[in-house]
Amino acid sequence: MTVIEVTSVLPVLTRHVLHHVDHNYSLTVPPLLSPAVWAHSNELDIKWNTSLKATYMRSPWPELDGEGKQEYFPSSIDWIGKTTWYTPNSGIGACGAPMQNSDHIVALSSNQNAGGAHCWKHIGVHYKGKFVDATIGDLCPGCGHTGIDLSPSAFEKLAPLDDRRIQVTWNYE
Protein backbone atom coordinates (compact mmCIF):
# COMPACT_ATOMS: atom_id res chain seq x y z
CA MET A 1 0.00 0.00 0.00
CA THR A 2 1.32 3.46 -0.91
CA VAL A 3 0.70 6.25 1.59
CA ILE A 4 0.77 9.88 0.48
CA GLU A 5 0.64 12.83 2.86
CA VAL A 6 -1.31 15.91 1.77
CA THR A 7 -0.93 19.20 3.62
CA SER A 8 -3.64 21.85 3.54
CA VAL A 9 -3.99 25.32 5.02
CA LEU A 10 -7.05 24.47 7.09
CA PRO A 11 -6.87 26.13 10.52
CA VAL A 12 -7.97 23.07 12.50
CA LEU A 13 -6.23 20.11 10.90
CA THR A 14 -3.31 20.28 8.52
CA ARG A 15 -2.37 16.69 7.72
CA HIS A 16 -4.38 14.20 5.74
CA VAL A 17 -3.19 10.76 4.72
CA LEU A 18 -4.25 9.07 1.51
CA HIS A 19 -4.18 5.31 1.14
CA HIS A 20 -3.63 3.69 -2.24
CA VAL A 21 -5.90 0.71 -2.86
CA ASP A 22 -6.32 -0.82 -6.35
CA HIS A 23 -5.15 2.35 -8.13
CA ASN A 24 -7.63 4.51 -6.22
CA TYR A 25 -6.83 6.90 -3.40
CA SER A 26 -9.18 7.50 -0.53
CA LEU A 27 -9.04 10.29 2.00
CA THR A 28 -11.07 10.97 5.11
CA VAL A 29 -11.27 14.71 5.62
CA PRO A 30 -13.10 17.31 7.69
CA PRO A 31 -16.61 17.94 6.34
CA LEU A 32 -16.23 21.69 5.77
CA LEU A 33 -13.99 23.14 3.02
CA SER A 34 -11.75 20.12 2.89
CA PRO A 35 -9.82 18.63 0.03
CA ALA A 36 -11.51 15.49 -1.19
CA VAL A 37 -9.09 13.60 -3.38
CA TRP A 38 -9.75 10.91 -5.95
CA ALA A 39 -7.08 9.48 -8.21
CA HIS A 40 -6.84 6.87 -10.90
CA SER A 41 -3.37 5.57 -11.79
CA ASN A 42 -1.07 8.61 -11.95
CA GLU A 43 -3.85 11.18 -12.31
CA LEU A 44 -4.72 13.23 -9.22
CA ASP A 45 -7.87 15.33 -9.10
CA ILE A 46 -8.38 17.60 -6.07
CA LYS A 47 -11.83 19.01 -5.39
CA TRP A 48 -13.17 21.08 -2.49
CA ASN A 49 -16.01 19.50 -0.58
CA THR A 50 -18.40 21.94 1.09
CA SER A 51 -21.01 19.32 1.94
CA LEU A 52 -22.17 19.21 5.55
CA LYS A 53 -23.59 15.69 5.20
CA ALA A 54 -23.56 13.70 8.42
CA THR A 55 -22.33 10.15 8.43
CA TYR A 56 -22.95 7.32 10.85
CA MET A 57 -19.24 6.90 11.56
CA ARG A 58 -17.29 9.04 13.99
CA SER A 59 -13.95 10.55 13.13
CA PRO A 60 -11.55 12.95 14.87
CA TRP A 61 -12.46 15.68 12.38
CA PRO A 62 -14.56 18.62 13.54
CA GLU A 63 -18.30 18.54 12.95
CA LEU A 64 -20.81 21.38 12.99
CA ASP A 65 -23.53 21.24 15.59
CA GLY A 66 -27.04 22.63 15.02
CA GLU A 67 -25.88 26.17 15.84
CA GLY A 68 -22.98 26.17 13.38
CA LYS A 69 -20.29 25.75 16.07
CA GLN A 70 -17.50 23.21 15.64
CA GLU A 71 -17.82 20.19 17.86
CA TYR A 72 -15.34 17.34 17.72
CA PHE A 73 -17.57 14.59 19.11
CA PRO A 74 -21.22 15.20 19.94
CA SER A 75 -22.27 13.98 23.38
CA SER A 76 -25.11 11.93 21.92
CA ILE A 77 -22.73 9.12 20.95
CA ASP A 78 -21.89 6.36 23.44
CA TRP A 79 -18.40 4.84 23.18
CA ILE A 80 -17.50 1.36 24.37
CA GLY A 81 -13.90 0.79 25.35
CA LYS A 82 -11.38 -0.81 27.64
CA THR A 83 -10.68 1.21 30.76
CA THR A 84 -7.66 1.00 33.00
CA TRP A 85 -6.41 3.21 35.80
CA TYR A 86 -3.17 5.09 36.33
CA THR A 87 -1.67 7.27 39.05
CA PRO A 88 -1.16 10.92 38.07
CA ASN A 89 0.68 11.53 41.42
CA SER A 90 0.64 15.34 41.18
CA GLY A 91 2.11 15.16 37.66
CA ILE A 92 1.35 17.69 34.96
CA GLY A 93 -1.15 16.20 32.50
CA ALA A 94 -1.30 16.74 28.74
CA CYS A 95 -3.77 19.58 29.39
CA GLY A 96 -1.10 21.48 31.31
CA ALA A 97 -2.19 21.30 34.95
CA PRO A 98 -1.18 19.17 37.95
CA MET A 99 -3.49 16.27 38.76
CA GLN A 100 -3.99 14.26 41.94
CA ASN A 101 -4.89 10.58 42.37
CA SER A 102 -7.94 11.80 44.30
CA ASP A 103 -9.23 13.89 41.34
CA HIS A 104 -11.73 12.33 38.95
CA ILE A 105 -9.44 12.63 35.92
CA VAL A 106 -9.59 10.80 32.60
CA ALA A 107 -6.86 10.41 29.99
CA LEU A 108 -8.10 10.03 26.40
CA SER A 109 -6.48 8.10 23.55
CA SER A 110 -4.47 10.10 21.02
CA ASN A 111 -7.33 9.88 18.50
CA GLN A 112 -10.00 11.03 20.94
CA ASN A 113 -7.76 13.74 22.39
CA ALA A 114 -7.93 15.68 19.08
CA GLY A 115 -4.85 17.74 19.87
CA GLY A 116 -6.16 18.81 23.28
CA ALA A 117 -9.53 20.05 22.01
CA HIS A 118 -11.34 18.34 24.90
CA CYS A 119 -9.17 19.55 27.79
CA TRP A 120 -11.23 20.22 30.93
CA LYS A 121 -14.45 18.93 29.41
CA HIS A 122 -16.27 16.09 31.14
CA ILE A 123 -17.17 12.55 30.19
CA GLY A 124 -19.68 10.26 31.84
CA VAL A 125 -18.49 6.69 32.37
CA HIS A 126 -20.92 3.80 32.99
CA TYR A 127 -20.10 0.29 34.23
CA LYS A 128 -22.56 -2.30 35.58
CA GLY A 129 -25.08 0.28 36.77
CA LYS A 130 -22.44 2.58 38.28
CA PHE A 131 -21.50 6.04 37.01
CA VAL A 132 -18.65 8.50 37.40
CA ASP A 133 -18.19 11.97 35.93
CA ALA A 134 -14.52 12.57 35.03
CA THR A 135 -12.65 15.63 33.79
CA ILE A 136 -10.44 15.27 30.71
CA GLY A 137 -6.95 16.27 31.81
CA ASP A 138 -4.46 13.91 30.25
CA LEU A 139 -3.46 11.82 27.23
CA CYS A 140 -3.25 8.02 27.14
CA PRO A 141 -0.95 7.17 24.20
CA GLY A 142 -1.25 3.43 24.91
CA CYS A 143 -5.07 3.37 24.89
CA GLY A 144 -6.99 2.08 21.89
CA HIS A 145 -9.24 4.48 19.97
CA THR A 146 -12.11 4.21 22.46
CA GLY A 147 -10.04 3.21 25.49
CA ILE A 148 -9.57 5.53 28.46
CA ASP A 149 -7.41 5.72 31.57
CA LEU A 150 -9.02 6.86 34.82
CA SER A 151 -7.44 8.18 38.00
CA PRO A 152 -7.71 5.71 40.91
CA SER A 153 -10.53 7.67 42.60
CA ALA A 154 -12.60 7.71 39.40
CA PHE A 155 -11.95 4.02 38.65
CA GLU A 156 -12.97 3.02 42.21
CA LYS A 157 -16.41 4.57 41.63
CA LEU A 158 -16.92 1.82 39.03
CA ALA A 159 -14.89 -1.19 40.23
CA PRO A 160 -12.15 -2.16 42.70
CA LEU A 161 -8.61 -1.26 41.62
CA ASP A 162 -7.79 -4.99 41.65
CA ASP A 163 -9.93 -5.36 38.50
CA ARG A 164 -7.27 -3.31 36.61
CA ARG A 165 -9.15 -3.42 33.25
CA ILE A 166 -12.89 -3.18 32.61
CA GLN A 167 -15.05 -2.52 29.56
CA VAL A 168 -17.18 0.60 29.98
CA THR A 169 -19.58 2.77 28.05
CA TRP A 170 -18.75 6.47 28.06
CA ASN A 171 -19.76 9.70 26.36
CA TYR A 172 -18.81 13.37 26.20
CA GLU A 173 -21.05 15.48 28.42
What pLDDT is attached to residue 76?
A: 63
What pLDDT is attached to residue 52?
A: 34
One domain, residues 18 and 100: no
One domain, residues 95 and 160: yes
Range of the domain at 56: 3-71
Q: Which of 52, 71, 90 is the last residue of a domain?
A: 71
Nearest-5° angle of CA 59, CA 94, CA 75? 35
One domain, residues 52 and 135: no
What pLDDT is attached to residue 129?
A: 95
pLDDT digits (tens, 9 = 90+) for 76-125: 688 999 999 999 888 899 999 999 999 999 999 988 888 888 899 999 99
What pLDDT is attached to residue 75?
A: 56
Q: Over the Cα atoms of the chain, what is R_g? A: 19
One domain, residues 62 and 117: no
What pLDDT is attached to residue 136?
A: 95
One domain, residues 52 and 36: yes
Beta strand pairing call for 130-139 and 166-172: unpaired
Query: Which residues, given as ranges, of the chain have pLDDT below 50?
Result: 1-65, 68-71
The single-letter code of the amino acid at 90 is S
Q: Which of 46, 71, 96 is the last residue of a domain?
A: 71
The single-letter code of the amino acid at 29 is V
Indicate the number of domains in the chain.
2
One domain, residues 94 and 148: yes
One domain, residues 67 and 83: no
Q: Which of 18, 42, 71 is the last residue of a domain?
A: 71
The single-letter code of the amino acid at 130 is K
One domain, residues 132 and 50: no
CATH for 94: 2.40.40.10
